[in-house]
Chains A and B, each alone.
Chain A
């Protein structure tokens, strides 16, 4: 069974801090994704990666960056946290797209910026 693990369930940080959200998957998946989930807005794609060191902007990349140094790990970075980045952050992974594989999600990190 695929396991996607996000390092923290809850995180509280202050405005202006640099914040790291970590995600690890154990199924050798090529593709990894970061979303934020907000009531009424659904899941919005922040960044995604289809290979090590490769990254693509999603629909709302402003204020975020990512790092994919190893295949199993995909990090989301808030360079200078702001209150409007308070949200639930979801990480997902999937294989190379053959066979119509679905995404597998982590439990999410609820991030509060004070």
Chain B
């Protein structure tokens, strides 16, 4: 069974400090991993996906299969980064998809 673990419910950092939001997963196959973000009073939206190896709003995430991790990082936090962040794991087989989310981490950037 697939599982996503986000160990921190709340992460508080000062503006300009580095950020690392942790995500660990368990899945025996090849994982597809995503980070989603939910700003206050907005809908959940994609932040980035592992396969794209992209940097969005200064955030990056590297898939580490050895450690089964997909941590989200940003070198310098901004106040507008304050939000809920969810890590998600997708399992696909043909057209069948199941997406499982972690419990989320609330990032609070202190001015």
- Interface residues, chain A, CB within 8 Å of chain B? 30-31, 33, 35, 40-45, 48, 50-51, 56, 58-59, 90, 92, 94, 96-97, 100, 102-103, 105-108
A-B contact pairs, 21 of them (CB 8 A): A30-B95, A33-B99, A43-B44, A43-B86, A43-B101, A44-B101, A45-B98, A45-B101, A50-B95, A58-B98, A92-B44, A92-B99, A94-B97, A97-B92, A97-B97, A100-B32, A100-B49, A102-B46, A103-B34, A103-B46, A103-B88
Which single residue of chain A is at the shortest CB-CB distance from B4? Answer: A42
Q: Report the bound CA distance from A106 to B45 in whole Å.
A: 10
- Taking a contact as CB atoms under 8 Å apart, the answer to whether A31 and B49 are in contact is no
Q: Is the CB of A42 within 8 A of B95?
A: no
CB of B86 within 8 A of CB of A51, answer: no
Q: Are B43 and A105 in contact (CB under 8 A)?
A: yes
Contact yes or no, A100 B52, CB < 8 A: yes
A51 to B96, CA, bound (A): 9
Q: Cα distance A102–B96 when bound, in Å? A: 14
* A105 touching B100, Cβ below 8 Å: no
What sequence of 0s and 1s flags, for each residue 93-111 of chain B, a beta carbon within 8 Å of any chain A beta carbon? 0011111111110000000
Which residues of chain A have C-beta atoms less than 8 A from B95's C-beta?
30-31, 50-51, 96-97
Given known pairs A105-B45, A107-B43, the reply for A41 and B97 (CB within 8 Å) is no
Residues of B within 8 A of A51 (CB): 95
Asked if A42 contacts B6 (CB within 8 A), the reply is yes
Taking CB atoms, residues of chain B closer than 8 Å to A30 are: 95
Residues from chain B with a CB closer than 8 A to the CB of A31 are 95, 97
Picked from B45, B46, B96, B99, the residue with its CB within 8 Å of the CB of A45 is: B99
- Identify which of residues 42-91 in chain B touch chain A, using a CB-to-CB cut-off of 8 Å: 43-46, 49, 51-52, 86, 88, 90
Q: Which residues of A contact B90 (CB under 8 A)?
A: 97
Partner of A108, one of B32, B43, B100, B103: B43
Contact A59 B100 (CB under 8 A): yes
Give the chain A neighbours of B44 by CB distance below 8 A: 43, 90, 92, 105
